[in-house]
Each structure stands twice: as C-alpha cells, then as structure tokens.
C-alpha cells in the first residue's frame, strides 16, 4: 500500500512537473480559491501522512497560494521521503519568488538523490526565468 501511494505521488509529480515547469507565466489560468478548502489544505500540510502533505502542497500551489512558501521550503529541506521533497520543489516553482533561488541552489548541493536534483534544476530554471521576466 505504501509503495502504491508513493507511486501515485510520483506519477502526480511527474505530470505536474511536465506541465507546470514548462508552462509560461499566466498560461495555466487563474482559479477561484475557496478559502474554506484552502484552510483544510493548509492543515494537511502538517499531516502525519506524507500523501496528505504532498497533495495539499500541490493543490495549494496550483491555486496560487503564495503564503505556503516557507512551509514548502521546510518540506524541500527536511522531508524524509524524496517524493515529498520533489512535490515541495515543484510547488515552490509554481508559487515561489526569486528569493527562493538561493534555498534551491543550496538544496542542490545537499541533495543526494539524482531524481530530486533533476527536479531542482527545472525549478531553478523556471524561477530564474520569472526573475528575468520581472526586470
């Protein structure tokens, strides 16, 4: 069951990564954010279950919830499971600002898994493009 859940999280991450990291700003459109739903998702960021944390991070990022940036940084740095770190990095690439770049670059140096490093590279490139576009 755990392997199935990790596989599900990984497939979700790959899908989100392929669609969101290559998307241009504004291409994904805006969504109406349901505040009650967001509060539930915010609570799920602190869930004991990694699947709940990952799902909440992705959904909040897709809704454009920028206030989760610090929590996503914490997840990217401290999550034990690499799939959850990947989810946090993908979500950071969606909602993070260029201030996150230093954190992600440091994470590149500290990360041991090549898969996570590849996702970090994509997130860094996306955030650098955002930074250059804002100049």
Residue 34 is encoded by which pair of tokens?
A: 């349901």
Task: Classify residue 68: in a domain, yes or no.
Answer: yes
Range of the domain at 109: 2-20+32-133
CA distance 96 to 83: 19
Contact at 8 Å (CB) between 114 and 36? no
- Residue 129: inside a domain, yes or no? yes
The set of long-range contacts for 124-129, using a CB threshold of 8 Å and a minimum separation of 24, is: 125/21, 126/21, 126/93, 127/92, 127/93, 127/96, 127/97, 127/98, 127/100, 127/101, 128/98, 128/101
pLDDT tens digits for the chain (135 residues)?
Answer: 666 555 555 555 555 554 454 444 444 433 444 566 688 899 999 999 999 999 999 999 998 888 899 999 999 999 999 999 999 999 999 998 878 999 999 999 999 999 999 999 999 999 999 888 877
Q: Which residues contact 8 (CB under 8 A, 6 or more apart)?
A: 51
Residue 27 included in any domain: no
In a domain? residue 26: no
C-alpha distance from residue 61 to each of 1, 81, 83, 110 (Å)? 26, 20, 16, 24
Q: Which two tokens stand for residue 66?
A: 């920028």
Q: Using CA atoms, how far apart are residues 19 and 17, in angstroms rounded to an integer?
A: 6
Number of folded domains that form the chain: 1
Q: Identify which of 33, 98, 26 has the alpha carbon closest to the alpha carbon of residue 59.
A: 33
Residue 71, in any domain of the structure = yes
Q: What is the CATH number of the domain that holds 122?
A: 1.25.10.10
Question: What's the confidence (pLDDT) of residue 3?
Answer: 63
């Amino acid at each position: 069951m755990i392997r199935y859940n990790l596989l599900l999280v990984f497939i979700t991450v790959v899908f989100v990564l392929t669609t969101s990291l290559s998307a241009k700003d504004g291409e994904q459109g805006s969504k109406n954010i349901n505040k009650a739903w967001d509060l539930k998702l915010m609570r799920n960021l602190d869930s004991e279950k990694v699947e709940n944390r990952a799902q909440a991070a992705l959904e909040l990022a897709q809704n454009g919830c920028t206030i989760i940036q610090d929590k996503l940084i914490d997840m990217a740095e401290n999550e034990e499971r690499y799939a959850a770190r990947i989810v946090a990095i993908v979500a950071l690439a969606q909602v993070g600002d260029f201030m996150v770049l230093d954190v992600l670059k440091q994470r590149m140096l500290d990360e041991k898994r090549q898969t996570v490093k590849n996702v970090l590279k994509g997130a860094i490139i996306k955030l650098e493009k955002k930074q250059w576009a804002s100049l």
